[in-house]
Structure 1
Amino acid sequence: MNQLRKLVSQTAIYGLSSIVGRFLNYLLVPLYTYTFSTGEYGVVSEFYAYAGFLAVVLVLGLETGYFRFRQNAEFDTQAIYGSALGFLSLFNVIFFCAVLIWRQALADWLHYPQHPEYLLCFAGILAIDASTALPFAKLRAEHRAWRFAGIKLAEIFITIALNLFFLVLCPKLLAAWPESPLAAYYHPQQGVAYIFLANLLASIIKFLLLLPEFRGIRLRPAPGILRPMLGYSLPMVIIGFAGMVNEMLDRAILKLLLPYDLATNLKMLGIYGACYKLSILMSLFVQAFRYAGEPFFFSYAGRADAKHAYALVMQYFVIAGIFIFLLVSLCLDFFQYFIGAEFRAGLGVVPILLLANLCLGIYINLSVWYKLSYRTGLGAWVALAGAGLTIGLNIILIPRWGYLGSAWATLACYGFMMCVSWLLGRHYYPIDYPLGKISFYLLLALGLYFGKQYLQQQQAWNVWLCASLGLTLYLLVVLVLDIRPLLKRRHSA
């Protein structure tokens, strides 16, 4: 139980940095949606979708490889870290140089011939972020959660400050003082490029803050370490890339598959991208759990009660995730004000995306089977199957249902991967998960959601009364079925 409490506390720290940081960053969404048109915001959504794919490739799966190999007494921890970090840094320098050389050709190919600077900014952001992935992994492995959280929050505060500087302060200064030296450097027509520039400068400062994690390390491959580590890690690239297909493909291809002109397609993409942000609480919870959970799963693997601990983690993860689903979906009339009125046409996708991300979190819990049994290749096939399903469903559903089809494709994919991973886990690393209780809570959540819809729309109940009743009922059920028995066991112990 001490280890489980440690997992909870570290998840809370990672979650604090992610939730507070992302929430502050999320406050930029109203700034963007009131500063730029839906089409311009569609450009932002599209480029960050591309960045999601490349970020997975550029890390080379070495985060997970580092966690796995540092548990192996056969290898020196510092040698493992230095070998992986040196190789990763070199790989990303080559990537940045390639984009620098061919930026105009890439901009033409993406239909942004007037803005090759978009490509250069993103190449810098991606190369820096990938190179700093291992220092962050090292902080997680060494349980230095507060330093991890501090640097993450610093990056986000700097990003926010720079966005406010470029998008709010500079235009006001230029309007008040047109002949100022600022006019030679600030060009309002660059538009969304200043969002990308703010991100790049924040990434550079983050790299500087992480320099202590680079010092004293021999950034060169140690004999017999890099090859087996890459053999373990590269299938994680396939898994991660397939995961990005599931998570980001819709925003990358919506403008190509929607049956309208390019300007309207970008507008629809902007609406979908803004509404996707309303599922951010679930995404943050899953991300915080992943940060703390991955080191926990590996460090706990050798214990006799490991499988029992993993089952408990799954149970309480689902309970917390369902609460987030109910909080956002039942109170959507409040959360909708976080985006501009022009973007609220897509609110119907939010409950679907919340459920999809909950399934993703369950899948991450279940993925312990292939990580601990050295079957990352088989795990890659599961992810690829999910990616294939995502691609097929998006191609079929987007022309018919628009961005709503993308949301249903995301849910279908994560639900499929969750089920397949559970079936394979029963064979390769069987864990006695409390399926009955998990299924009950999922059905209860759906019942409360549809019950709220019925009472609000058919019986004209007050929306806040419906939401409050639903959340209260869920918490009472959790209290009776899980919290009270847990407190009794602790008291008797």
Structure 2
Amino acid sequence: MKNKLNLYKKLALQTILYSIGTILPKIINYAFLKFFTKSLRREEFSLYTDMYSLSFIVIGFLSFGLENTYFRFLSKRKEDKEIIFSTGVIIQFIITSLFLIFSIYSVNYLVSVAGYKKHPEYFFMFFLIIFFDTICILPMAWLRAHEKVLRFTMINVINILLQSFFIRYMFSFHLLKNKTSFLSFIFEFVNSLTDKTGFIFFANMISSFSSFILITPILLKKVNIKNFNKVLAKKMLNYGIPIMLGTLSFSFNENLDKIFIKRWLSDEINGAYSACYKIASFMNLYIRAFRLGIEPFFFKKSEDYDAKYYYEEIIYLFIILGLIFYVLICGNISILVGFLIDKKYHTAISIIPIVMMGNLFLGIYTNLSIFYKIIDKPIIGTYISLIGVFVTILFNIIFIFIPHRNFLIPAWGTLTSYGSMVIVLYFWWKKNFLKFYRKIWSVILHLILSVTLVSYIFFYESRIEVSLFLQLLYIILVFLFEINNFI
């Protein structure tokens, strides 16, 4: 019992420390959501989200699963840390450099296919954003692996503060009649190249470049071309490619709906859908914080005799806390929506509980996926992710071909896709993880209770005081039911 408490305390501390560097920037981005939805028209916001949707798919490909690969090879080959890191970084640099060269050479074709002939500058900025962000993946993973939490946090905080400063500065400067400032030349230069939406991309490009500068000392000190190992590179690619396919599948699952809605409905509808989708993505804050603290622990613990027990306990804890988070966010959605996005975007509010539950399923899947990673069978994740992509594509095809297109269909596709992935992976592993199998009925009971409560509050209960009472009652019931499991 004491060991269990000490474990939870350690994990909680790690999660809090990593949250400062990872979750705080996300929260700042959410703080900008109201600013963006007030400053941009819905069609402009649609362009903003569409460019990021396309870039996430590209980054999913370019990452080649090397972050997870790096963590896994560290746990297996501790004597070769510098060789592993150098080999991984050189692989990443080659892949990303080839992308940059190809993209610049093919920019006219890419702009035409994507429907951005009026804004080729968006693509040039995103080529650089993608290049710098991808190059930073492994150095940031190195900081996590070596528990350099403060440095990790500093880089992320500097990144978001720079981005925030330039966004606020350029949008504010854009409204001024007397444009005199010590940074006016920057605004005049950027304003001559792009529009308000492009201001956001320019700020991101500057912050991504700053992160690259800040991780450069790690690259100079720790990366040595002489440490590049061709045999190891082949092994890392063989391990990482299935993870890359899984990441690419995730990128499609997350972004295909917005790409389709923009092109088959309108930018106005996609703008509202995307804004509400971002609120639903609150769940990813919880998932991200939990994952940053847990994932290195999972790999380190993989060789211990009691590893399976701790995996089961931690995943069960993740589900319970995730459902509480779901109830608290969706139970107060009317307040959050009014606070976070402008009224003209409220037309898509109905997608939030659907997409948010889908994101929780994604978090469950992400935690369960550690099982096939620690036995070096990431191909299992590839197969399951392809099932999820198939479901996503199916729902989006239905969305395209039905006479009266409804943006709820892609939202249900997100939920069904991630739900099907969890179910498939669960049945794949239930024979090997019997204790978790015995807890499945508790999970289902918690799931039914939370969804029922959220549905009642969302559709039938408009009184805030009643809603808050029901949420408090729910938390008390969960605490009483689960207290013996986690003490």
TM-score range, shorter chain: over 0.9
1:239 aligns with 2:246: yes
2:355 match: 353
Taking the aligned partners of 1:152 and 1:445, their CA distance within structure 2 comes to 34
Question: In 2 relative to 1, CA 162–432 (structure 1 residues): closer, same or farther, beyond 3 Å?
Answer: same
Shift of 1:482: 2.2
2:11 match: 7
1:455/1:466 contact within 8 Å kept: no
1:326 match: 327
1:339 match: 341
Letter aligned with residue 403 of structure 1: F
Letter aligned with residue 142 of structure 1: H
How many residues are treated as equivalent by the alignment? 474
1:170/1:186 contact within 8 Å kept: no
Q: Deviations over 1:364-423 (max 9, x none)?
A: 111122112221112201001110110011110355442211110000001000000101
1:441 match: 446
Letter aligned with residue 382 of structure 2: A
Letter aligned with residue 397 of structure 1: F
Which of 237, 252, 257 is matched with 2:259 structurally?
Answer: 252
1:91 aligns with 2:134: no
2:71 match: 67
Taking the aligned partners of 2:291 and 2:435, their CA distance within structure 1 comes to 19
1:58/1:127 contact within 8 Å kept: no
1:203 match: 208
2:93/2:135 contact within 8 Å kept: yes
2:217 match: 212
Taking the aligned partners of 1:256 and 1:183, their CA distance within structure 2 comes to 31
Q: TM-score, normalised by structure 1?
A: 0.91
Shift of 1:182: 6.7
Structure 1 residues 286-295 or 201-210, which shifts more? Answer: 286-295
Shift of 1:291: 2.1
2:425 match: 421
Pairing of 1:50-449 with structure 2 (within 5 A): 50-73=54-77, 76-172=80-176, 174=178, 184-187=188-191, 190-216=195-221, 217-219=223-225, 221-258=228-265, 265-337=266-338, 338-397=340-399, 399=402, 400-427=404-431, 432-433=436-437, 434-449=439-454
Taking the aligned partners of 1:453 and 1:231, their CA distance within structure 2 comes to 47
**Secondary structure of the structure 1 residue equivalent to 2:75:** coil
Taking the aligned partners of 2:454 and 2:230, their CA distance within structure 1 comes to 57
Letter aligned with residue 146 of structure 2: E
Q: Deviations over 1:329-385 (max 9, x none)?
A: 110110012100000011000001110011111111111221122211122010011
Q: Deviations over 1:63-120 (max 9, x none)?
A: 1111111112375011000001011112212211222222222112212112211111
Question: In 2 relative to 1, CA 428–35 (structure 1 residues): closer, same or farther, beyond 3 Å?
Answer: same
1:26 match: 30
Question: In 2 relative to 1, CA 182–305 (structure 1 residues): closer, same or farther, beyond 3 Å?
Answer: closer
Question: In 2 relative to 1, CA 104–407 (structure 1 residues): closer, same or farther, beyond 3 Å?
Answer: same
Structure 1 residues 477-486 or 238-247, which shifts more? Answer: 477-486
Taking the aligned partners of 1:450 and 1:222, their CA distance within structure 2 comes to 55
1:491 match: none
After TM superposition, which residue ranges in structure 1, 4 or more long, deviate above 6 angstroms? Answer: none
Quote the RMSD (CA, aligned, Å): 2.1
1:490 match: none
Shift of 1:429: 6.2
Taking the aligned partners of 1:151 and 1:173, their CA distance within structure 2 comes to 35
Unaligned runs of 5+ in 1: 259-264, 457-461, 488-493
Taking the aligned partners of 1:269 and 1:355, their CA distance within structure 2 comes to 20
2:38/2:341 contact within 8 Å kept: no
Taking the aligned partners of 1:401 and 1:8, their CA distance within structure 2 comes to 44
Shift of 1:483: 3.1
Shift of 1:175: 5.6
Question: In 2 relative to 1, CA 47–485 (structure 1 residues): closer, same or farther, beyond 3 Å?
Answer: closer
Shift of 1:466: 2.4
Question: In 2 relative to 1, CA 173–425 (structure 1 residues): closer, same or farther, beyond 3 Å?
Answer: farther
Question: In 2 relative to 1, CA 397–430 (structure 1 residues): closer, same or farther, beyond 3 Å?
Answer: farther
Letter aligned with residue 219 of structure 2: F
Shift of 1:161: 0.7
Shift of 1:432: 2.7
Unaligned runs of 5+ in 2: none
Shift of 1:34: 1.6
Taking the aligned partners of 1:108 and 1:450, their CA distance within structure 2 comes to 43
2:190/2:199 contact within 8 Å kept: no
**Secondary structure of the structure 1 residue equivalent to 2:116:** coil
Taking the aligned partners of 1:322 and 1:302, their CA distance within structure 2 comes to 30
1:62/1:233 contact within 8 Å kept: yes
Taking the aligned partners of 2:367 and 2:211, their CA distance within structure 1 comes to 29
Q: TM-score, normalised by structure 2?
A: 0.92
